[in-house]
Structure 1
Amino acid sequence: MAHRAIGQQGFGFSQRERPRSTLDEIAALIEWEPIATLLGRLYPATKGEPAWPPLAMFRGMLLAVWYDLSDVKLADALDDRASFRRFCGFSGTEATPERTAFVRFRRLLVAHDLDRALFDAVTSQLTAKAITVKAGTIVDATIIASASENDGDGRWVKHRGKRATHGFKAHVACDADTALVERIAVTPANVNDGRAGPDALPDCPGEVFADSAYRGSHFGGAVRAKGGTPRVVLNAMWGRDEEETLGRLRDWNQPIHRVRGRIEKVFGTWKRSYGLRRMRWRGLAKAAAQIHLTAIAYNLKRTFNLLAATA
């Protein structure tokens, strides 16, 4: 299927030269051609009405994450915000996609199982810019409520002292220094952290910091198999002297807690700023797509902030 030609008319908002916005800076962080190539498979038909360029649609979905926009609000914002139009490649006067176009694009993204491939493609470019020496990895999981308790792919889970939640769990590995997300596995909410943790491990993870839910040989063996060293919080230690044993336990756990706590800021950003308190759509595949899109948006913004701080 042919793609519509966009961005041909130029911007007519002002004759003055505009200062570059944050979105312009973020757009310049990576090479988008490999992303466009990945997305090219979404419209294989050679006949029919020309489709919106997939890269423009993908960038639009990143805007929806950054600004916590529904499909309706995203379509409205694209219609009248100059910075949004520039980021997606639209000129100042031409038509922009309507809400249903984003619905169809997301369905195609899920049907072609492209969310993980897009995450890997973007993240590999960003980590090359931001991570100079791999020091370690933090692994943790967060529960995200389902769009509806009738979602058959979601499951109930209850933690001590908290209300039961129906939903999904994102198992995440991020770099211990930069807090860039490197790998994600998405499961129903009742899957044990330690069992799913190996699916979130990147290659050559270095020291792997995790809480006590990751104790046991299953996770520890997976870390060692990838060339890493597990650093897992312990709940108890054996010893003859109680005070001396508690001191050793504290000395072991405190450095892990200091590093491991950094991933909580990642989850906090996802939920407070990017709308991931609850899934927007039903089903495990769509939940994984939403989480991967959120992680891509987070990594782009995080890399922009890291590079700006060192400039």
Structure 2
Amino acid sequence: MQACFEEVNRQLDARGLIVRSGTLMDATLLAAASRKPDIKQGAGAGLEREPGASWTRKNGKSHFGYRLHVATDQGFNLIRAVVLTPAHVGESLVAETLIQGDEKAVYADKGYEHKGRRARLKARGCKDRICHRSHKHQKALPYWQTQRNKLIAKRRAVVEQVFGTARRVFGYARARSTSFAVNLADIFRLATVFNLRRVAGLPAT
């Protein structure tokens, strides 16, 4: 399925449909196919039948499953890269896999902020459009960083359409298998169909 995804993208690129003006990155949580481990098993308990799933917390709630990471182009919002990880793996750890290296800008929320990443983007002449986040020595973001974040958020919000389409159109609210390999193949299949569906809706040229 990965080979299929890459071949479809190669053909789309040959037709000039992959736009390199910017890469938009984001991630979402995907519930495991199995029920959550019983709370009596203790915090962080896993499941033998679904070893690829893990725990994380978001907005004060616990989630058991996976994290789906995607990168889309800024032009037609076509998926250029997908990564599936256990839920505890954060966005920043996967960012370098999502950055394509041929884009002119990278857009992402504050979860991707990293000083070294900003430096690497600057070194190769790529515009850094990663949101800022406050730290322990800073009570609040400076005004200019707050405004910059708002401008970036408007541009990068488009990537969230991938997750909305996955849930509404394909009914992909949770993993469909207890096998990590099968789920990963499913993600590549989803990305391939998403891209074909996107270009099918484009005006004929």
Displacement of 1:279: 0.9
Aligned partner of 2:86 in structure 1 is 188
Between the aligned partners of 2:181 and 2:91, the Cα distance in structure 1 is: 19
2:163 is equivalent to residue 267 of structure 1: yes
Higher relative contact order (CA 8 A, sep 6+): 2
2:44 is equivalent to residue 158 of structure 1: no
Aligned partner of 2:192 in structure 1 is 296
The residue identity in structure 1 corresponding to 2:68 is A
The residue identity in structure 1 corresponding to 2:146 is R
Between the aligned partners of 1:284 and 1:152, the Cα distance in structure 2 is: 8
Aligned partner of 1:120 in structure 2 is 6
Unaligned 5+ runs, structure 1: 1-114
Q: After superposition, what is the alpha-carbon deviation per residue over 1:69-105, rounded to whole angstroms, capped at 9, x for unaligned?
A: xxxxxxxxxxxxxxxxxxxxxxxxxxxxxxxxxxxxx
In structure 2, the CA distance between the partners of 1:224 and 1:262, relative to structure 1 (3 Å rule), is same
Between the aligned partners of 1:154 and 1:226, the Cα distance in structure 2 is: 36
Between the aligned partners of 1:222 and 1:274, the Cα distance in structure 2 is: 37
Q: After superposition, what is the alpha-carbon deviation per residue over 1:23-74, rounded to whole angstroms, capped at 9, x for unaligned?
A: xxxxxxxxxxxxxxxxxxxxxxxxxxxxxxxxxxxxxxxxxxxxxxxxxxxx
Displacement of 1:164: 1.5
Partners of 1:204 and 1:226 within 8 A in 2: no
Could you tell me the TM-score, scaled by structure 2's length? Answer: 0.82
Write out aligned runs for 1:73-222 (5 A).
Answer: 115-129=1-15, 131=17, 133-148=19-34, 149=36, 150=47, 151-161=50-60, 163-220=61-118
Between the aligned partners of 2:7 and 2:25, the Cα distance in structure 1 is: 21
Going by fraction, where is strand more abundant, 1 or 2? 2
Between the aligned partners of 1:169 and 1:132, the Cα distance in structure 2 is: 25
Partners of 2:18 and 2:73 within 8 A in 1: no
Match of 1:278 among 174, 187, 199: 174
Q: After superposition, what is the alpha-carbon deviation per residue over 1:244-266, rounded to whole angstroms, capped at 9, x for unaligned?
A: x41x1233112211111001111
Displacement of 1:140: 0.8
In structure 2, the CA distance between the partners of 1:283 and 1:220, relative to structure 1 (3 Å rule), is farther
SS of 1:253 mapped into structure 2:
helix
The residue identity in structure 1 corresponding to 2:164 is G
Partners of 2:19 and 2:73 within 8 A in 1: no
Between the aligned partners of 2:18 and 2:7, the Cα distance in structure 1 is: 18
Could you tell me the TM-score, scaled by structure 1's length? Answer: 0.55
Going by fraction, where is helix more abundant, 1 or 2? 1
SS of 1:261 mapped into structure 2:
helix
Partners of 2:33 and 2:178 within 8 A in 1: yes
Identity %: 29
Between the aligned partners of 1:158 and 1:145, the Cα distance in structure 2 is: 12
Between the aligned partners of 2:99 and 2:33, the Cα distance in structure 1 is: 27
Report the count of equivalent residues: 188
Unaligned 5+ runs, structure 2: 37-46
Displacement of 1:210: 0.2
The residue identity in structure 1 corresponding to 2:94 is A
Partners of 2:12 and 2:18 within 8 A in 1: no
Structure 1 or 2, whichever has the larger Rg, is 1
The residue identity in structure 2 corresponding to 1:144 is L
